[in-house]
């Protein structure tokens, strides 16, 4: 019975050993997979960090460009408003001069008509 017991225990030991070896291989495989995934995640994180840094630099450049363009816009807007005011003042002045010229033209037309009427009247009186 001792031999049978030992044989049984040895068989059981071998089964447990094979099961353990199989489990160790499985866990080792999983550990390698997790290690690979961790390395991949680390590389991805580094790439993302690098891309983020580049984007931040580009963002700063674009913000500076925006500031310059905004300043230029306000400068041009101010210049444009000044020019519009100058042109409006010139327009008012030109309109005033035009009105004066039109009044002078009307007065000249009236004087010319009066002079013509006077000549006609004088000629008619001379004929009588």
Whether residue 117 has pLDDT greater than 80: yes
Cα–Cα dist 114/127, whole Å: 20
The string of pLDDT tens digits covering residues 30-44 is 999 999 999 999 999
Q: Read off the pLDDT band of 103 (50, 70, 90).
A: very high
Computed over every residue of the chain, the mean pLDDT equals 93
Cα–Cα dist 12/19, whole Å: 10
Cα–Cα dist 74/60, whole Å: 21
Cα–Cα dist 13/97, whole Å: 121
In this prediction, residue 43 carries a pLDDT of: 97
The string of pLDDT tens digits covering residues 64-81 is 999 999 999 999 999 999
Q: Read off the pLDDT band of 85 (50, 70, 90).
A: very high
Of residues 17 and 84, the one with the higher pLDDT is 84
The string of pLDDT tens digits covering residues 1-24 is 588 888 888 888 888 888 898 899
Whether residue 127 has pLDDT greater than 80: no
């Amino acid at each position: 019975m001792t031999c049978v017991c030992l044989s049984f225990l040895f068989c059981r030991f071998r089964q447990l050993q094979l099961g353990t070896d199989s489990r160790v291989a499985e866990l080792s495989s999983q550990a390698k997979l997790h290690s690979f995934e961790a390395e991949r995640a680390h590389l991805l994180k580094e790439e993302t960090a690098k891309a983020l840094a580049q984007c931040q630099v580009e963002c700063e450049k674009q913000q500076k460009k925006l500031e310059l363009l905004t300043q230029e816009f306000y400068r041009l807007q101010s210049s444009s408003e000044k020019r519009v005011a100058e042109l409006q003042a010139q327009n008012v002045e030109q309109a005033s001069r035009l009105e004066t010229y039109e009044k002078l033209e009307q007065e000249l037309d009236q004087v010319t008509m009066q002079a013509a009427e006077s000549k006609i009247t004088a000629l008619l009186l001379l004929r009588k």
